[in-house]
Amino acid sequence: MSDATMDLRSVTIDDSGLPPPTPEIEQERKVAIFDLLEDNSFRLPGRAGRDVPAPPYDLELCIRDRRLVFDLSGDDGQVAEFHLSLGPFRQAVKDYYQICDSYFDAVKKLPPSQIEAIDMARRGIHNEGARILQERLAGKAEVDIDTARRLFTLICVLHWGG
C-alpha cells in the first residue's frame, strides 16, 4: 500500500431520520467506507489567497434541507462545508438502485454470464454517478474517479432513505 493516498482518514454517514437500510444497502455502505479508507484522493483547492489546511480530513456526509452536505474537519476543527443539490444525482441513483435490485436477484438464480452482463451495466451507471459527482465538486474539491465512485455509493445510501 505504498502509493495509496489517504486524504480522508474517516468517513461517517449521518443517516439519522432515515429508515434503516436493508442488509444489501448496509453491506454496500460498509464496503464503500472500507475501500475509501484504504485509498482515497480528496483535495481542497485554495481560494482567494486563503491557505487550505492539509489533509488528512474527517468527512461526514448527510442530507440537510434536501441538499447533500460534505462536512470536512481536520485536527484544528472544521475545514470546509459544502452543499450540493441532489437533483443532478436523482436519475443516476434511481438507475443504480434498479440495476442493483436486478443484480441481487440475478446472483440468486441466473448463470454467471447473465450476472456479468448486469454487473457491467451496474458499473457503467456507477461510473456515470461518479462523473456527476466530480462535476458537482468542481471548484470545491478534487477527487479521483475511484474516490468519486465510492462517494457515489454513499450518496446512494443516503438517497435511498431520503
Among the listed residues 9, 3, 4, 85, the one whose alpha carbon sits nearest the alpha carbon of residue 53: 9
Say whether 44 sits in a helix, a strand or coil.
Answer: coil
| pLDDT tens digits along 24-77 | 788 888 999 999 999 999 999 877 777 788 899 999 999 988 899 999 999 888
Which residues are registered as beta bridge partners of 50?
47
Query: What's the pTM?
Result: 0.89
| pLDDT tens digits along 84-118 | 999 999 999 999 888 888 888 888 898 888 889 88
For residue 79, pLDDT beyond 80: yes
Residue 141 and residue 44: Cα distance in Å, rounded? 5
Among the listed residues 25, 42, 56, the one whose alpha carbon sits nearest the alpha carbon of residue 148: 42
What are the domain boundaries of the chain?
8-161
Residue 60 and residue 13: Cα distance in Å, rounded? 6
**What's the pLDDT at 1?**
38
- State mean pLDDT over 147-161: 87
Residue 107 and residue 130: Cα distance in Å, rounded? 24
